[in-house]
A and B are shown apart, each in its own frame.
Chain A
Amino acid sequence: MNIKNKKWTEEEFFKMREEVLSQWPTGKEVDLKEAVDYLKKVPEHKNFSLKLKKAKEEGVTLAQPRAGVALISEHIELLTHLQNEGGADLLPSTIDSYTRQNRYDECEIGIQESRKAGRSLLNGFPGVNHGVHGCKKVYEAVNLPLEARHGTPDARLLTEIIHAGGWTSNEGGGISYNIPYAKNVPLDRTIRDWQYCDRLVGFYAEQGIIINREPFGPLTGTLVPPSTSNTVAIIEGLLAAEQGVKNITVGYGQCGNIVQDVAAIRALESQMEEYLREYGYHDVYVTTVFHQWMGGFPQDEAKAFGVISTGSATAALAGATKVIVKTPHEAIGVPTKEANAQGIRATKMTLNLLKGQRLPMSKELQDEIALIKAETKCMMNKTFELGNGDLAIGAVKAFEAGVVDIPFAPSKYNAGKMMPARDNNGAVRYLNFGNLPFTEDIREINRRKLEERAKFEGRPVGFKMTVDDIFAVSRGVLVGRPQK
């Protein structure tokens, strides 16, 4: 496939658009002119971009849950509960797994069966099937900004529909919604398909409508070293900016060591801004999102609240613009609306208590920020080099070569040669570098940190540490020590 990191012409965009809108009957409902008029009437408090900008300026951290069910009325009931009883600042609509695979006929069955059963048989909101009309109903029923959250490699039609329905944010990206979510989808295809989504947002920006875009930060949610997820976020941020996106939220999933987590968010925000400036995108507004622990949770609800509160505290101390909230039912499956609201309240309590406080700079924090930035820069440089200066081509080649390598990803387009593990303080380090283009200095720091743990535990550095770390939090600790 012929891809380039170059803003699509209107001709290219509108040619593909015909095909996209014919993928399912509800595509016909999307009328760009009507959508522009509708979006222009979105009030400030329901506009995702403006609410994030205001939060950043005021130095507060907003709380956003995940939630979605099959039917419109039930979905509205769920979101209203999270808004009124949970006190959410921003609302999501989590999209179901069939929609993520573009299986809209199966969604239709899911919708019908859910009506019959009186409960949701889909694990999210089938936005394409409900169409612009259905998305507008949801938007009009709530009093907060709405974002689609999913995991869809080809989200072009979904994106058209949600934005026309008044939803002013969309999560995803060509890398972050492919490598962790698919097995066989080529990376150049998803980068192209997400360029389409970004180009649509760019088109709206040209009409004076600013829609927020959020690359999915946590990736596989399993011991992803900060520089790896930051690199992916920065690549996707730059690709979005080229297509005309003006409001970007870059994200990171909690690893667990507070100094490293704070460093990750601060490095991400400043490096994203540096890269945007360097490549000539001067009018892009950058905010950050911190995801509470994405790995395995303890079954005990009280313990789960401990995990949720620690993540909230870190988000506040890091100064993240928003935090994505987990629930006490995380270990069991899809939460009830009550459990979901509890997660938000626990989060907001912690955020309120820490309001205005930041983790002060220290030698440790400074070193950690410098290390994350240096590692990220190695991967970014090599990616640009492989693409001969073109980031889209470079990204495809970087994944082929394992220059950027996401741990535990299902995709065959990911090398899977890199292996992470925690150091003695719980920070996530690189255990096997695979083909990562790191300098000897960086390798040495990572090795030394893991050797400290090995010495403390009286066992060699190795994959057994990784395995123990993966199960540690659900068993009640951060670092997976050898079992006595």
Chain B
Amino acid sequence: MEKKTIVIGVIGSDCHAVGNKIIDYALTESGFNVVNIGVLSPQEDFINAAVETSADAILVSSLYGHGEIDCRGLREKCDEAGLKDIKLYVGGNIVVGKQDWNEVEKRFKDMGFNRVYSPGTDIEITIEDIKKDFNLN
């Protein structure tokens, strides 16, 4: 089976590194080729890494509440960079404070994310989804 390549990182001015390391480990264990751009990463870094590695998906993390601002326009920039139809996933504590999850999910889907994960989602669930999305086992 050909390995799927996934770019992961923590977007914006956010230096939360723990979850990022766990996602890196878990995706690698599950047989993905992981390109980890780490914390404090602007949108451009996600896109450059995806272009350079011909990635199949981008998985964005945000823990500090500014995810909504940081993620705006990512889909459009992907399109411009020629990353047409690349799968975009996002998760963490992506908005400030407690908000209605259905609305948050819709907001991020409208932004062009394929899947949006609520706070505290187990990475195993995301991995199952990614496998489903790429018709792996």
Nearest residue (CB) in B for A103 is: B13
| A97 touching B13, Cβ below 8 Å | yes
Residues of chain B within 8 A of A409, CB atoms compared: 17
Summed over the interface, the residue pairs from A and B with CB atoms below 8 Å come to a total of 30
Residues of chain B within 8 A of A222, CB atoms compared: 18
**Contact A183 to B38, CB < 8 A, known contacts A220-B17, A408-B17, A410-B17:** yes
Q: Is A470 an interface residue (CB 8 A)?
A: yes
Q: Is A297 an interface residue (CB 8 A)?
A: no
Residues of chain B within 8 A of A97, CB atoms compared: 13
A205 → chain B closest CB, angstroms: 33
Q: Is A481 an interface residue (CB 8 A)?
A: no
Q: Is A476 an interface residue (CB 8 A)?
A: no
| A467 touching B17, Cβ below 8 Å | no
A317 → chain B closest CB, angstroms: 28
Give the contacting residue for B15; candidates A410, A412, A416; CB below 8 A: A410
Residues of chain B within 8 A of A182, CB atoms compared: 15
Q: Is B51 an interface residue (CB 8 A)?
A: no
Q: Is A14 an interface residue (CB 8 A)?
A: no
> In the complex, A183→B10 CA distance in Å?
12
Q: Is B86 an interface residue (CB 8 A)?
A: no
Q: Is B26 an interface residue (CB 8 A)?
A: yes
| A183 touching B40, Cβ below 8 Å | yes
> In the complex, A299→B99 CA distance in Å?
16
Residues of chain B within 8 A of A181, CB atoms compared: 15
| A470 touching B18, Cβ below 8 Å | yes
B44 → chain A closest CB, angstroms: 15
Q: Is A38 an interface residue (CB 8 A)?
A: no
| A470 touching B22, Cβ below 8 Å | yes
What total of chain B residues lie within 8 Å of the partner, measured CB to CB?
Answer: 14
| A467 touching B39, Cβ below 8 Å | no
Give chain A's interface secondary structure class: loop
B11 → chain A closest CB, angstroms: 13
> In the complex, A182→B25 CA distance in Å?
21
| A408 touching B21, Cβ below 8 Å | yes
Give the contacting residue for A410; candidates B25, B40, B97; CB below 8 A: B40
A432 → chain B closest CB, angstroms: 11
Residues of chain B within 8 A of A416, CB atoms compared: 21
Nearest residue (CB) in A for B16 is: A410
Which of B18, B25, B65 has most A Cβ within 10 Å?
Answer: B18
| A410 touching B22, Cβ below 8 Å | no
Give the contacting residue for A467; candidates B15, B22, B40, B65; CB below 8 A: B22
B12 → chain A closest CB, angstroms: 12
B56 → chain A closest CB, angstroms: 24
> In the complex, A467→B65 CA distance in Å?
23
> In the complex, A481→B28 CA distance in Å?
23
Residues of chain B in range 11-52 having any CB-CB distance to chain A below 8 Å? 13, 15, 17-18, 21-22, 25-26, 29, 38-40
| A463 touching B18, Cβ below 8 Å | no
| A183 touching B39, Cβ below 8 Å | yes
> In the complex, A394→B40 CA distance in Å?
28
| B18 touching A183, Cβ below 8 Å | no
B68 → chain A closest CB, angstroms: 16
Give the contacting residue for A463; candidates B13, B15, B25, B65; CB below 8 A: B25
> In the complex, A409→B15 CA distance in Å?
9
> In the complex, A220→B40 CA distance in Å?
16
> In the complex, A291→B13 CA distance in Å?
25
| B39 touching A410, Cβ below 8 Å | yes
B39 → chain A closest CB, angstroms: 4
Residues of chain A in range 386-433 having any CB-CB distance to chain B below 8 Å? 408-410, 412, 416
Residues of chain B within 8 A of A470, CB atoms compared: 18, 22
Give the contacting residue for B26; candidates A220, A408, A412, A467; CB below 8 A: A467
> In the complex, A470→B65 CA distance in Å?
21
Nearest residue (CB) in B for A97 is: B13
Residues of chain A within 8 A of B18, CB atoms compared: 220, 222, 408, 470
Nearest residue (CB) in A for B29 is: A463
Residues of chain A within 8 A of B17, CB atoms compared: 220, 408-410
> In the complex, A181→B40 CA distance in Å?
10
Residues of chain B within 8 A of A220, CB atoms compared: 17-18
Which of B21, B25, B40, B97 has most A Cβ within 10 Å?
Answer: B21
**Contact A412 to B38, CB < 8 A, known contacts A181-B15, A220-B17:** yes
Contact digits for A181-197, partner B, Cβ 8 Å, 1 yes 0 no:
11100000000000000
> In the complex, A183→B40 CA distance in Å?
7
| A183 touching B15, Cβ below 8 Å | yes
A292 → chain B closest CB, angstroms: 18
> In the complex, A182→B38 CA distance in Å?
11
Residues of chain B within 8 A of A410, CB atoms compared: 15, 17, 38-40
Residues of chain A within 8 A of B38, CB atoms compared: 183, 410, 412
Residues of chain A within 8 A of B40, CB atoms compared: 183, 410
> In the complex, A416→B13 CA distance in Å?
21
A120 → chain B closest CB, angstroms: 14
> In the complex, A224→B20 CA distance in Å?
17
20 pairs, A vs B, C-beta closer than 8 Å: A97-B13, A181-B15, A183-B15, A183-B38, A183-B39, A183-B40, A220-B17, A333-B65, A333-B97, A408-B17, A409-B17, A410-B15, A410-B17, A410-B38, A410-B40, A412-B38, A463-B29, A467-B22, A467-B25, A467-B26
By Cβ-Cβ distance, the 7 closest A-B pairs, closest first, are: A410-B17, A410-B39, A408-B18, A183-B40, A222-B18, A410-B15, A408-B17
A interface residues (Cβ-Cβ under 8 A, vs B) = 97, 181-183, 220, 222, 333, 408-410, 412, 416, 463, 467, 470
